[in-house]
Amino acid sequence: MDIKIKQKVLEKMYTIYEDFVDHNDFACQKHCTHCCTGNVTMTTLEGYFLLNNLDSATRTELMQKLKQQEGIKRFTPRITINGMADLCARDQELPEEENDENRGRCPVLNRNLCPLYSKRPFGCRCMVSRQNCGFIGYADMPSWVISINNVLMQYIEHIDAKGFSGNFTDIMFFLNDPKNVDDYAKDRLGTCPKPLLNNQPVYILMVPPEDRSRLEPLLKAIRSIKIDGIS
């Protein structure tokens, strides 16, 4: 699939999710950054989409901020969402992952605002809560929202199946190299560098039986995405 089409599909998936969020009563508001940490993960497609929509000055500022935080330990996933679904379907043990929520705020934030907000990755978009996280200390997220989030992450990885996944910072560092960007856009990436992971296509969706009816409209919307006559 052409990189331009992939970006358009990704953008439509973001819109589908935001339409869903807009019709639910969540406590998230402007300047609410309790869930904005340095542990967000994303795919190369999301990183490419983000960087492709930034002007040179904003991009330079972003990379400078990330460089300042380079030595700080951050969450590095050991498996992608589709890899996890595949292992679960085969009843195999999942690798243990260490995700320390106290590793600090997102280095991109500026006065409790995200300068990348309109193009932020799905890992940021899906953090919603019925109550203010600052008051209760965690995101109050219904189980069916978690199911919807998992499905969206699976599809996003699927359309970027030849790309990589990893921590937001690590993906940004990878795509800050013009050669990597060119190779990615031309679908000729080589061996996956550490600490990134190879993406996988969807083999099975992580949809619990009790959430199937609730997820059906969203699944139908995703499957109906068409770009210039290509579905």
**pLDDT the model gives residue 169:** 94
The predicted structure's pLDDT at residue 99: 66
What per-residue confidence (pLDDT) applies to 106?
Answer: 86
Q: How many CB atoms lie within 10 A of CB 165?
A: 29
- Asked whether residue 158 is assigned to any structural domain, the reply reads yes
Q: In the chain, which residues have pLDDT < 70?
A: 27, 31, 99-103, 228-231
- When divided into structural domains, the chain yields a total of 1
Query: What is the model's pLDDT at position 227?
Result: 77
| pLDDT attached to residue 155 | 96
User: Is 138 within a domain?
Assistant: yes
Question: Are residues 46 and 121 in contact, defined by beta-carbon separation less than 8 angstroms?
Answer: yes
Tell me, yes or no, whether 230 lies in a domain: no
Residue bearing tokens 């995200």: 114
Residue 228 falls within a domain, yes or no? no
Which residues, in sequence order, are CB contacts of 130 under 8 Å at separation 6+?
Answer: 25, 26, 27, 140, 141, 142
pLDDT at 231: 46
Yes or no: say if 223 and 217 are a contact pair by the CB < 8 Å rule.
no
**Does residue 231 sit within a domain?**
no
Which secondary structure element, helix H or strand E, spans residue 42, and what is its range? strand 41-43
Q: In sequence order, which ranges of the chain are alpha helices (DSSP H)?
A: 3-22, 44-52, 56-68, 81-89, 122-125, 133-136, 143-159, 168-175, 178-185, 212-223
**Pair 7, 52: CB distance under 8 Å:** yes
Instruction: Look up the domain containing 35 and give its range.
Output: 3-223
Structure pTM? 0.92
Q: Mention every residue, 6+ apart, whose C-beta is less than 8 A from residue 176.
A: 63
